[in-house]
Amino acid sequence: MAKSQVGEESAVGCQTRVKRLHSTQVARSTCSKAKPSATVKDITADKDTSKDQFSVEKLDGCRSGNTLDLHGKGINKIHKFEKLPGIKILDLSCNSIEEIENLDNNYEITELKLYGNNIRKIKNLERLQELQILQLQFNRITSLRKGLLRLRKLQRLRLDSNQLICVESREFSGLSQLTSLDISHNQLSDITAVNVLPCLEELLASHNKLYGVIDLSKCSKLQELDLSNNKISEVQGLSLQEMLTSVNLSRNVLRSAECLGSLCSLQELNLADNQLKSVCSFSEQFPNLEVLNVVNNYIDFRDGLKSLAQCFHLVELNLDGNITETSEEEQTMHFMEISYLMPQLERLDGAPLNPSNNKKQNVPVMQKTPASGSLESTQKIASCMMDFESQVEDLQQSLAERFSQVKNLMASLPKKLPFKPSHTLTARLSPVPIYGSQPQTSCRSRSRIEEARSFAAQHFEK
């Protein structure tokens, strides 16, 4: 079955925080047009200043607190800075820098921004022992080598949108405190090296050349994972990640989600544009799931919908582009069934289901259109029909139980009397004379009279 275009990465639903990290791509295009500012021209043209040094006085206009902002200043070479006391953040992004150099005197820097340049090698960072954040995205880096080995306090590293072909375990061996790594938009075919990062919480490796089986069994603290837009058929070791809350495996070749194991903390799962055929195990695998995107797969929800309804925390569901009914009437009934089975659901394929919930959360609601009004009335009718069907089912079940009880009782009764009644028992069971009744006798009239007198004297004496 041909797949639709509904499952683009921008599909409403399981969007991870990777998009905010890639926002600098727009910034780079803007930076490429930036012209050198008058401040930098004055600095480099100042005859009283050494050719290989920036003057602290001339840089005062670019300084704000503990930040030195040289973003988009047209710099093509990092000149030797004089010692910059108090500078913690150095921004050299969106320039034309080709080589990292002359930063030895500024070992107090905790954040270094070098994204959007023409850097090919990572080097000369050994003296920056306090560095915690390093941004090298949108450069021309092909390998890491020994450039990161001594950055033992580094916590966040961005290497996305470079030309990395391979990363090795020894190149990451010194990054014992690294919590966030972005290596997306490269040409990597293997990321096994990330297993040497004991504190890694966020791994973004989308848009690479990953294929086959990916093993992440040693990333025990992983919370967010993005492996979208690869050729991955299986991911191993995720069942050991007890803190994993967000997984994006869209646009791969997964045929089953069983390889993910049981993820009790998982809240967001994106499996769009794969080859899945069933969601029957999701309620057991992901009991706390809140957002699910499975558009453009081969799932027949007529079989798995009731199982998926057991995900009681699910508030956003995207399932378009799968095997569904063809007629409009059947699609409407399918939609009504989902609304009934999942009353907590707030969005279905991007459309809001419960606008009242949005009002309570102070979220702006779009003005109702005729289509939305019709949709709401359809949902009400569907709800009434479902309630009626539920009552009928309950009544049928009750009648069936009562009939079963009567049937069992009748089956327990004996078919024959357990004994043959005797004459003595028959005599005992004969009616006892009561007050006002006539005495019973087989005698003739005289004897009857005598019995009557005796009976009267006995019962009617004053």
pLDDT tens for each residue of 16-38: 443 444 444 444 444 544 444 43
Structure tokens at 336: 């009504």
Buried-state track 223-235, b at ≥16 Cβ within 10 A, e below 16: bbbbbbbbebbbb
More confident residue, 60 or 300: 300
Q: Sort residue 338 into left (φ over 0), alpha (ψ -120 to 50) or beta.
A: alpha
Average pLDDT, the chain: 79
* Residue spans of alpha helices (H) in 173-314: 282-285, 301-308
Q: How far apart are the C-alpha atoms of 197 and 175, rounded to whole Å?
A: 7
Report whether pLDDT(89) > 90.
Answer: yes
Range with lowest mean pLDDT among 7-16, 178-187, 252-261? 7-16
pLDDT at 354: 63
Q: How far apart are the C-alpha atoms of 349 and 12, rounded to whole Å?
A: 7
Rounded mean pLDDT, 4-10: 42
Rounded mean pLDDT, 221-229: 97
pLDDT at 38: 37
pLDDT at 420: 57
Residues 6+ apart with CB under 8 A from 377: none
Give which of 93, 101, 15, 9 is closest to 53, Cα–Cα.
101
pLDDT at 287: 94
Rounded mean pLDDT, 181-209: 97
Q: How far apart are the C-alpha atoms of 352 and 355, rounded to whole Å?
A: 6
Residues 6+ apart with CB under 8 A from 35: 74
Rounded mean pLDDT, 204-225: 95
pLDDT at 235: 95
> What is the per-residue pLDDT across 361-397, written as a single tens digit (0 to 9) for each?
444 433 444 444 445 555 566 667 667 777 888 888 8
Q: Could you say which architecture CATH assigns to the domain 18-204?
A: Alpha-Beta Horseshoe (3.80)
What H or E segment, with its residue span, contains residue 133? strand 133-135
pLDDT at 365: 39
Report whether pLDDT(153) > 50.
Answer: yes
Confidence of residue 208 (pLDDT cuts 50, 70, 90): very high
Rounded to 10 degrees, the C-alpha dihedral 240/246/251/253 comes to 20
Query: Pairing mode, if any, of strands 156-158 and 180-182?
Result: parallel
Report whether pLDDT(431) > 80.
Answer: no
- Beta strands, E only, 164-306: 180-182, 202-204, 211-215, 224-226, 231-236, 246-248, 268-270, 291-293
pLDDT at 460: 65
Structure tokens at 280: 């029957």
Decide: pTM greater than 0.85.
no
Confidence of residue 411 (pLDDT cuts 50, 70, 90): confident
If 0-12 CB within 10 Å is exposed, 13-18 middle and 19+ buried, where does residue 15 land?
middle
Residue with tokens 């063809």: 326
Amino acid at 293: N
pLDDT at 57: 53
93 neighbors 114 (Cβ within 8 angstroms): yes
pLDDT at 247: 97
Confidence of residue 412 (pLDDT cuts 50, 70, 90): confident
What H or E segment, with its residue span, contains residue 113? strand 111-113
- Beta strands, E only, 294-389: 316-318, 347-348, 351-352
What H or E segment, with its residue span, contains residue 27? helix 24-31
Angle (CA) 272-211-267 rounded to 5° is 40
